[in-house]
Amino acid sequence: MGVARGASWGRALSVGVVGLTTAFTVSACLDLPSLQRPDIPDGLPPGAGAPVPYININAPGRTAELLRDWARPISESTGIPLIALEAYGNAAEIERQQHPECGIAWTTIAGIGAVESKHGTHHGTGIATNGDTSPPIRGVALDGTRGNMRIHDTDGGKMDGDAVHDRAMGPFQFIPETWQRYGVDANGDGRPDPDNLDDAALSAARYLCVSSGGDMTTPQGWEKAVQVYNNSMAYVIDVRDRANAYSINVRY
């Protein structure tokens, strides 16, 4: 791409499945050990994992492919699909080069991708070589039932297929309003797509960095960002544990 990918951060936080602003209780899970996997670390922020090598983030085409040699052994150890892992590394490296103060690690992006959609494979969804996921992953209608928020349609159903209520979209479960604020192209096709793993991973990284206050390297900033992404302490702990597992190259 001729223009730096995801170079600017929006500052207004929208409200939704991904985009829920909330009062923040400091460090609620800092000292809570993993209840499922006592063999993995439980620190915050989670470990950064294998360092992502430098790549030319403005090279034409899908820059995530430049990380294949880095991603392949990690994919084999962790079970994260190769294309998804490339997307996570690409997102972290773009943020490192453009917003080094944020310090978001690929392991955190992977932890969220795992919880939200099993790395883009929820209910048998497939991942194409360019990062596209198909069939599209869509959440339930956000109509206020079953404990869900009520969010009336914001996109005329053009993105999420529902003209009455919004639905979360893609492997990182963005709602349309939040995607319109933070969605960026990361696979070089010139079109931000919530159903593309490269695009969704970078958009999620940008959103997390903004939600943290600009610094994901502190326990408070990391926890705040993930809780804004999904206002559930159980969710924060799940993402933390998965990210820590990936940081030591083990499956979760």
DSSP string over 142-183:
-BS-TT--B-B-SSTTTTTS-SSB---BTTTTB-HHHHHHH-
Q: Is there a domain that residue 211 lies in?
A: yes
Q: Which helix (H) or strand (E) holds 127?
A: strand 126-127
Mean pLDDT of the chain: 89
Q: What is the pLDDT of residue 149?
A: 87
**Which residues are CB-neighbours of 132 under 8 A, at least 6 positions away?**
193, 195, 196, 197
Q: What is the pLDDT of residue 35?
A: 60
**The predicted structure's pLDDT at residue 22:** 36
pLDDT at 110 exceeding the cut of 50: yes
Q: Name the amino acid, one letter, at 43.
A: G
Asked if residue 181 belongs to a domain, the reply is: yes
Mean of the pLDDT values across residues 134-150?
92
Residue 214 lies in a domain: yes
Cis peptide before 60 (omega within 30 of 0): no
pLDDT grade, residue 13 (50/70/90)? very low
Strand pairing category for 133-134 and 126-127: antiparallel
Sign of CA pseudo-dihedral 145, 150, 154, 160: negative
Say which range, 13-22, 114-123, 187-196, 228-237, has the weakest mean pLDDT: 13-22
Global confidence as pTM: 0.89
Mean pLDDT, rounded, for 95-121: 98
In a domain, 78, yes or no: yes
pLDDT band at 27 (very low <50, low <70, confident <90, very high): very low
In a domain, 11, yes or no: no
Average confidence (pLDDT) over 63-78: 98
Question: What is the distance between the alpha carbons of residues 70 and 118, in angstroms, rounded to a whole number?
Answer: 21
Of the listed ranges 30-39, 122-131, 140-149, 179-188, the least confidently predicted one is 30-39
d(CA 187, CA 236): 28
φ, ψ for residue 174, nearest 5 deg: -80, 145
Closest CA to 193 of 130, 139, 239, 140: 130
What pLDDT does residue 39 have?
85
State how many domains the chain has: 1
Q: What share of the chain has pLDDT > 90, as a percent?
A: 81
Helix axes 82-98 and 68-78, enclosed angle (nearest 10): 130
Q: Is residue 88 part of a domain?
A: yes
Answer whether residue 15 is part of any domain. Answer: no
Question: Among all chains, which residue has been given the structure tokens 């979209």?
Answer: 169
How confident is the model over 98-110, as a mean pLDDT? 98
Task: Look at residue 81 and tell me if it is in a domain.
Answer: yes
Where in the sequence is the domain holding 177, given as residue range(s)? Answer: 63-247
